């Protein structure tokens, strides 16, 4: 019997745990679920005959070593900074390891030793990163196999609110870490367009969104992610003239969010004085020039619109000009903004989220230029089975099965871009309702 150790029983682990338990008997698996909260872990195991939930402190070296020793495979659902401590123990004890997070320098440094010991440290195996890697590489490899030359690759992804549950005029609620949403886009977005390197400083990231559309879901806008250029090496398309990765939102979101950016509301570098006693309107007024005009009028002036512009309804809907108390001690502008947004952007019990992803490829083949558009969408079922949790957990569960069945021969620090991974994973994801639809057309 193989033992799978899952560390972390949070929301994103739900579909991972359910898949492994569902297939545990036929594959002779024992699933050990470790979390600081025994109650949470037990709620996910649900007294399954092949599952065991227990309280666990990942920072306890002896406990960590003992649990890794019992396992044949370790899956880390911990916050990203905690992955390397588990991975180091896995390499030490020659146990394979999976995480959904980006490879960090602390993880990459384990590559050589892991390869020497025949250990696989598989990272970036969620949805983004994860499904994006696999679905993109499948088409890139197909284009190359036909003898085509890739001219442009654009990849977009977004987690938003399902249309049937859209009760706010932002058409958005938090479907992942609120702090990451508030600070998204910071730094410089770098990409390439027709051979020209492009740089978007933070103040411009949301100012000029791209446009796209999705089957069944209509129009979206896209703002560029921080680093698109590194994907040239990851996907072996070093000489490609155009490459861009971006985040999808509903039309109008970027213009409104850019108002917060331009005012300084997303700043984390300082604490606002007496922040817990500020009202919402006082918070906003802190960033505005002082004169006799109303706060709304000065706000409109600062973001370059008239006071009658429909965009102001988004801010009124957030109660931004009200006398509600902030109630956040030693709050930075970003932390206070997060608190304000959580009042209206937290998912209600009946809300469902929507995960959307799209890849756009332009390539030449036999002297003719063609375009492939590959789109995927998935709606969550409820608060426990969100689209985000489903698409993060399933790829890890499927790869765990493949590793334990000895169907993957990779070692060292890896991401899922090899055909031996993406072919079976994408095939099973399709069977489970996560699939891409492709259109191919000639370019004019």
- Mark whether 186 and 280 lie in a shared domain: no
Phi-psi region of 428 (alpha: psi -120 to 50; beta: other; left: phi over 0): alpha
Domain boundary among 99, 123, 147: 123
| More confidently predicted of 11 and 298 | 298
CATH number, domain with residue 209: 3.30.360.10
pLDDT score of 444: 67
Local confidence band at 198 (pLDDT 50, 70, 90 cut-offs): very high
Local confidence band at 442 (pLDDT 50, 70, 90 cut-offs): confident
- Determine the Cα–Cα distance for residues 206 and 228; give it in Å rounded to an integer: 16
Phi-psi region of 267 (alpha: psi -120 to 50; beta: other; left: phi over 0): beta
Q: Are 329 and 320 in contact (CB under 8 A)?
A: no
DSSP labels for 41-108? HHHHHTT-TTEEEEE--TT-HHHHHHHHHH-SEEEE-S-GGGHHHHHHHHHHTT-EEE-SSPPPHHHH
Local confidence band at 297 (pLDDT 50, 70, 90 cut-offs): very high
Domain boundary among 296, 320, 345: 345
Work out how many domains the chain is built from and give that number: 3
- Mark whether 141 and 80 lie in a shared domain: no
pLDDT score of 301: 92
pLDDT score of 346: 86
| R_g over Cα of the chain | 23
- Mark whether 338 and 381 lie in a shared domain: no
- What's the pLDDT tens digit per position in 301-342? 999 999 899 999 999 999 999 999 999 999 999 999 999 999
CA-wise closest residue to 127 among 398, 360, 409: 398
- Determine the Cα–Cα distance for residues 290 and 142; give it in Å rounded to an integer: 60
**31, 32, 36, 39 alpha-carbon torsion, rounded to 10°:** 70
Written as six digits, the tokens of 33 are 């679920």
- Average pLDDT of the residues in 374-387: 90
Written as six digits, the tokens of 258 are 């850019």
- Average pLDDT of the residues in 223-247: 96
- Average pLDDT of the residues in 347-373: 93
pLDDT score of 188: 93
- What's the pLDDT tens digit per position in 177-194? 888 888 887 889 999 999
- Average pLDDT of the residues in 417-436: 97
Share of the chain above pLDDT 90, in %: 86
- The residues, any chain, with a CB within 8 Å of residue 304's CB and separated by 6 or more, are none
Question: Does 285 map to a domain?
Answer: yes
- What's the pLDDT tens digit per position in 92-136? 999 999 999 999 999 999 999 999 999 999 999 999 999 999 999
Written as six digits, the tokens of 220 are 């979206």
- Mark whether 218 and 236 lie in a shared domain: yes
What range defines the domain where residue 36 resides?
A: 2-123
- What's the pLDDT tens digit per position in 66-87? 999 999 999 999 999 999 999 9
CA-wise closest residue to 400 among 130, 29, 136, 33: 29
Question: Does 408 map to a domain?
Answer: no
- Phi–psi pair at 372, nearest 5 degrees: -115, 130
Domain boundary among 100, 123, 146: 123
Q: What angle do CA 249, 253, 255 make, to 5 degrees?
A: 130
pTM above 0.75, yes or no: yes
Q: What is the mean pLDDT of the chain?
A: 94
């Amino acid at each position: 019997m193989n033992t799978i150790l899952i560390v972390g029983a949070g929301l994103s682990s739900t579909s991972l745990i359910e898949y492994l338990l569902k297939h545990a008997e036929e594959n002779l698996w024992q699933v050990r679920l470790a979390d600081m909260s025994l109650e949470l872990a037990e709620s996910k195991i649900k007294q399954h005959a092949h599952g065991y939930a227990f309280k666990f402190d990942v920072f306890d070296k002896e406990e960590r070593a003992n649990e890794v020793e019992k396992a044949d495979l370790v899956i880390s659902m911990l916050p990203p900074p905690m992955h390397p401590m588990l991975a180091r123990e896995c390499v030490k004890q020659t146990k394979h390891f999976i995480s959904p997070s980006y490879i960090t320098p602390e993880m990459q440094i384990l590559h050589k030793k892991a390869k020497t010991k025949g250990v696989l440290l598989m990272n970036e195996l969620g949805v983004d990163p994860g499904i994006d890697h696999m679905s993109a590489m499948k088409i890139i490899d197909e284009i190359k196999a036909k003898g085509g030359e890739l001219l442009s690759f654009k990849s977009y992804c977004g987690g938003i609110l399902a249309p049937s549950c859209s009760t706010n005029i932002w058409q958005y609620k938090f479907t992942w870490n609120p702090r990451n949403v508030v600070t998204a886009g910071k730094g410089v977005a770098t990409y390439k367009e027709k051979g020209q390197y492009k740089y978007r400083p933070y103040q411009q990231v949301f100012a000029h969104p791209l446009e796209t559309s999705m089957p069944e879901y209509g129009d979206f806008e896209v703002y560029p992610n921080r680093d698109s250029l590194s994907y040239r090496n990851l996907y072996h398309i070093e000489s490609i003239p155009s490459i861009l990765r971006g985040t999808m939102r509903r039309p109008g979101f970027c213009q409104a969010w850019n108002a917060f950016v331009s005012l300084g509301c997303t700043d984390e570098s300082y604490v606002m004085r007496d922040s817990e006693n500020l009202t919402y309107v006082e918070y906003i007024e802190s960033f505005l020039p002082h004169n006799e005009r109303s706060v709304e009028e000065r706000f409109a002036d600062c973001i370059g619109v008239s006071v009658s512009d429909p965009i102001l309804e988004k801010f009124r809907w957030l109660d931004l000009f009200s006398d509600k108390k902030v109630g956040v001690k030693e709050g930075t502008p970003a932390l206070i903004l997060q608190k304000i947004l959580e009042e209206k952007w937290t998912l209600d019990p009946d809300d469902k989220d929507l995960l959307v992803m799209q890849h756009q490829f332009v390539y030449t083949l036999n002297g003719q230029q063609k375009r492939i558009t590959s789109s995927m969408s998935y709606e969550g079922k409820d608060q426990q089975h969100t689209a985000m949790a489903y698409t993060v957990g399933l790829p890890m569960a499927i790869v765990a099965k493949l590793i334990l069945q000895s169907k993957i021969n990779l070692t060292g620090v890896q991401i899922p871009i090899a055909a031996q991974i993406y072919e079976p994973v994408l095939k099973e994801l399709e069977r489970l309702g996560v699939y891409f639809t492709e259109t191919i057309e000639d370019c004019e």
